[in-house]
Amino acid sequence: MRTFVTSLLLVALANAVTAGCKGDDDDSAGKAGAGASGAAGKTGSAGKGGTAESGGSAGHAGSSGKGGAVGGGGSAAHAGNGGSSPGGDGSLGEGGAAGGGAPSEAGNGGVAGETQAGTGGESGAAGAGGAYDPACESITRDATMTSHLTVTADNEAEVFVNGTSVGTTSNWSAAVIIDVSLYLYPGRMNVVAIVGTNTSSQDGNDRGIVGQLTVDSTSGTVPLLVTDATWRVSPTETTGWSDPSFDDSSWIFATEVANMGDAPWGNIIPDSTAKWIWSAPVPASTSDKPNLESTYARREFYLGLDGTSTTATASCPPSG
C-alpha cells in the first residue's frame, strides 16, 4: 500500500514539473518579434500569449513597426495576451498630410492596440502674391499720387504728411488747400498729422482742428478721409510723432467738439462731413481753460487698390 501511494505522489510531482516547463516555454514563445523598418512601415508579427498553466505568464506585446514612406503610418503591432500596442507615427507629409496608422488586431486573448495618427506637417507659407490680389504686382512700391488736403485750426496749425511738413495756417476762418503726395501702393502706410495750437481763450468752443483729404477721379472729387473720432490725439508732443513708423496705440481717440457748420466757425469747408476735433472736451468758461494749448493729431491709413478709398490695414504685401 505504501509503495502504491508513493508511486502516485511521484507521478503527480512529475506532471507538475512538466506543466511548469510547458508554461515557461509558452511564455517564451509569447514575446513578439520586433517590427521591421521598411518603406511600407510593416510591423513585426504578434507573439501568441502563453497558456496560464502552472504559473505561465502572459505573452508580451509585439513591437510596433516604424513609419513607412512620406505620409504613411506604421501598422500597429498585434498584442499578445493582455498586451496592447499603439501603431507607429507616420512620417511628416508634405504640406501637412497626416500619416495614419492602421488599427491593430488582437492576439490570442490580447486587447487590440490603438493607432496614433502621424504628426501633420506645418502649413507652408503663402507663395508670391499669397492671398493678396494679383493687381498688387501692377503697382510699384514707391509709386505716389497727388491728393488735396483742406485744413484749418483755431488758432493755427502745422500739417505733416508721412513725416514731412507740408504747410501751415494761422487764419482759422479760411481753410487752406495743400496738394500732398501719398503712397499709392496699398501695402505702404500713409500718415496725415496735424498739430493745432490755441493762442487765446473765449467762452464756448474756441479751439479745434478740422480738415479733409480728397482725390480727383473720373467721377469727380472723392473724399478719402475727414477729421473725426477715429483720429489719435495727444496733448503733448512725442519725438517722431508725425512719422509712419511711430506707434500711436497709446494715444487716445479724438474728442469731436463740433460738426461742420456749428458756431462759432460756421461752414468753413462746404459739403464736408469733417468734425472739429481736440484732445479733450472744450470747457465752456474761459476761466476753465488755458490760453495756450496744443493738440497733436494723426491718422494712419492705406490706399485701396482703386486709389480712391482707404483701408485700416494693408491690402497688398507690406512694402520692404
CATH number of the CATH domain containing 263: 2.60.120.260
Residue 316 within any structural domain of the chain: no
Q: Which of 91, 124, 157 is the last residue of a domain?
A: 124
Average pLDDT over residues 228-255: 98
197 with 218, same domain?
A: yes
Give the per-residue pLDDT at 81: 40
Percent of the chain with pLDDT over 90: 56
8 A C-beta contact, residue 254 and residue 279: yes
Q: Is 11 exposed, middle or buried (0-12, 13-18, 19+ CB in 10 A)?
A: exposed
Structural domain span for residue 177: 134-311
In a domain, 291, yes or no: yes
Same domain, yes or no, for 233 and 203? yes
Q: What is the pLDDT of residues 6-25, one digit of tens each?
A: 444 444 444 443 444 344 44
According to the model, what pLDDT value does residue 218 have? Answer: 86
Let me know whether 102 and 248 are in one domain. no
Confirm whether 129 is domain-assigned. no
* pLDDT value of position 183: 97
- Per-residue pLDDT, 126: 38
DSSP-assigned beta bridge partners for residue 145: 182
Tell me, yes or no, whether 159 and 97 share the same domain.
no
Inform me whether the pLDDT recorded for 280 exceeds 50.
yes
Look at residue 281 and tell me whether its pLDDT is greater than 70: yes
Same domain, 71 and 162: no
Predicted local confidence at residue 21, as pLDDT: 39
Tell whether 98 and 204 lie within a shared domain: no
Domain C-terminal end among 124, 144, 160: 124
Domain assignment of residue 317, yes or no: no
Looking at every residue in the chain, the average pLDDT score rounds to 73
Q: Which of 39-53, 68-82, 127-141, 305-319 has the highest mean pLDDT?
A: 305-319
153 in a structural domain: yes
Regarding whether 226 and 188 lie in a shared domain, the answer is yes
Which residues are within 8 A (CB) of 13 and not within 5 positions of it... i.e. 6 or more apart? Answer: none
pLDDT at site 304: 94
* Statement to judge: residues 48 and 186 lie in one domain: no
Is 170 in the same domain as 92? no
pTM above 0.75, yes or no: no
Q: Give me the count of residues in the chain.
A: 320
Residue 179 pLDDT more than 50?
Answer: yes
**pLDDT of 320:** 60
Residue 279 has pLDDT above 60, yes or no: yes
The H or E element containing residue 25 is helix 2-29
Shared-domain flag, residues 163 and 282: yes
- Does a structural domain hold residue 319? no
Q: Is a pLDDT exceeding 50 seen at residue 147?
A: yes
Which residues lie below 8 Å from residue 219, measured CB to CB, with a gap of 6+?
Answer: none
5: which residues sit within 8 A by CB, 6+ positions away?
Answer: none
Q: Please report whether residue 113 resides in a domain.
A: yes
Does the structure show a pLDDT above 70 at 153?
A: yes
pLDDT above 60: residue 297:
yes
Q: Above 70 in pLDDT, residue 141?
A: yes
Lowest mean pLDDT among 20-34, 156-170, 176-190, 194-208: 20-34
> Does 269 have pLDDT greater than 60?
yes
| Last residue within a domain, chosen from 69, 102, 124 | 124
- Same domain, residue pair 108 and 254: no
Q: Are residues 90 and 203 in the same domain?
A: no
Least confident of 188-192, 218-222, 288-292: 218-222
Q: How many domains does the chain have?
A: 2
The backbone torsions φ and ψ at residue 25, rounded to the nearest 5 degrees and listed phi first, read -65, -40
Q: What is the pLDDT of residues 49-64, one digit of tens each?
A: 333 333 334 334 344 3
Q: Does residue 320 lie in a domain region?
A: no
The percentage of residues in the chain with a pLDDT greater than 70, rounded to a whole number, is 59
Classify residue 141 by its DSSP letter.
Answer: T
Q: Which residue has the higher pLDDT, 169 or 125?
A: 169
pLDDT at 219: 85
